[in-house]
Amino acid sequence: MHGMREITVYRNALPLRLFRRLVREVGDECLEETYTTNFWYGLDAQPGNLVEEVIARLSQLVRPGPRCIGTEWWLGRLPYGRSLSFHFDRDMALHKQKGQIVHPIWSSILYLNRFPSSPTVILDQVLGRDGKSLVPAVASAGKSVSPEPNQYLVYRGDRYHGVMANKAAPRQAGLRLTLLVNYWDRRPLPPVCRNYDGTIYAALCNARAESSEHPNSQDIAMPG
């Protein structure tokens, strides 16, 4: 049950103008890449695009601790009726190259639109030492979070989680849109995690938050 207490949902996580700017810039071109297109943002660096400015803001909510050196981010999207299989966040390239399993310190999801038919579900299960089994074998607790605009979900990076689509819910148009951010104490290996150079999600490259929306301002969201 301890892991379930380490799940926090922040409502109105970003200032409204900043959130609307992010949603606006996540245009159709951002929906062409797969989930393997991830980018690195070191928390000691100056933000170079709109998403990095958003992460600088969100990191004040997470407070990932002195071990954290940076974040891995990507844009998520799912159509109505499609689930995302339960899985563990990990350094995918390290696992493939050396068979080692390393999880982020924290995982997080910023929901960009309302999509109640496809909640995120987090279970109180971690990966066993054999790298295959679940501990405990059967989940004894879990939390379901339905996507709401500007809602930010933060949970431990070693938890078993996925998206469970409810096809019986009223059909929704469009896509379930999210910004996913993992907080790391080491940089995940390329080619899965790479530097952002503006060639993908180009609309985000020159989109910058206004100075009044700088992450040093004091209007920080509270847990919902």
Q: Band of the pLDDT at 216, cuts 50, 70, 90?
A: very low
Domain 2-186+197-208's class? mainly beta
Pair 201, 144: CB distance under 8 Å: no
Tell me what the pLDDT averaged over the chain comes to.
Answer: 87
Closest to 53 measured CA to CA, from 222, 206, 177: 206
Q: What is the pLDDT of residues 36-61, one digit of tens each?
A: 679 999 999 999 999 999 999 999 99
Q: What is the pLDDT of residues 98-154, one digit of tens each?
A: 889 999 999 999 999 999 999 999 999 999 999 899 999 999 999 999 999 999 999
**CB count, 10 Å around CB of 191?**
10
Kindly state the average pLDDT of the residues 176-194.
95
For 121-153, b where at least 16 C-beta lie within 10 A, e where not — what string? bbbbbbbeeeeeeeeeeeeeeebebebbbbbbb
Closest to 157 measured CA to CA, from 176, 184, 121, 134: 184
Supply the pTM of this predicted model.
0.90
Indicate the residue type of 212: S
